[in-house]
Amino acid sequence: VFLVASLFISPLLNIPYSLLFITSIFIAGSMFIPIPRGIIHGQQRFFALGSSMLCEAVLKITVSLLLVYMGFGVFGAIGGVVISLILTFGISLIYIRNVLRSKSEFAELGADYQGEIKDLTLKAIAEMTGSEGYMPAYMVAKKVGCSIPWVKQSLEILKNEGKITSY
C-alpha cells in the first residue's frame, strides 16, 4: 500500500522514490520482528529478548552511522535501519531455533483427542462470536480459520461426522 502511495507522495514532496521504496521495506520488515520476540517472551527467556532488543538498537546506530560516514547520506541512514532489522530478525531466529525445529504438538495428539479439540475450537469460536451451536461457529471458522491447522482439522471432523457438507 505504501509503495503505491509513494508514487503520488514522491513527486508531491520532492522525495526520491527509491528512498520511499527503502522506507516501505522497513515498514514491511517491522511487522516480522515481533513474531520471534513474541515466542521468546512466551518462553520467558527475557535475557534473549533483551539482548535482541539491545542488538537492534546498537545495530541501527552503528550501521546507519557507518553508511552515512561512507557517503550514502539519507539513503545510508534509512538503509542502515533496514539492514539492522534484517540482522536482528536473524538473531531472533537463532534464539528460537529450538521452536523452529520442534514438531507440532497438535500433530502428535492422534485420533483420541480430535473430538475434544473440535469441540473446544468451536466452543471458543461460538463464545467469541456470541453464537450457539455448530453452524454459526462453523460459518466463522470457514471465513477466518481455514489456514489455521486445528480449525481446519475441526472442520474436517465436522464434515466427516455429517454435521456440515463442505467448507
The mean pLDDT value for 27-39 works out to: 88
List, for residues 134-150, the tens digit of each pLDDT value. 555 555 555 555 545 55
Residues 6 or more apart from 41 whose CB is under 8 A from it? 49
Dihedral of CA atoms 148, 152, 154, 158 in degrees, nearest 10, equals: 160
pTM passes above 0.75: no
List, for residues 57-74, the tens digit of each pLDDT value. 999 999 999 999 999 999
The mean pLDDT value for 17-27 works out to: 89
pLDDT at 2: 82
The mean pLDDT value for 1-23 works out to: 88
DSSP 104: P
Helices (H), the chain: 2-13, 17-30, 34-42, 46-67, 73-95, 97-101, 114-129, 134-144, 149-161
Residues 167, 155: contact at Cβ < 8 Å?
A: yes
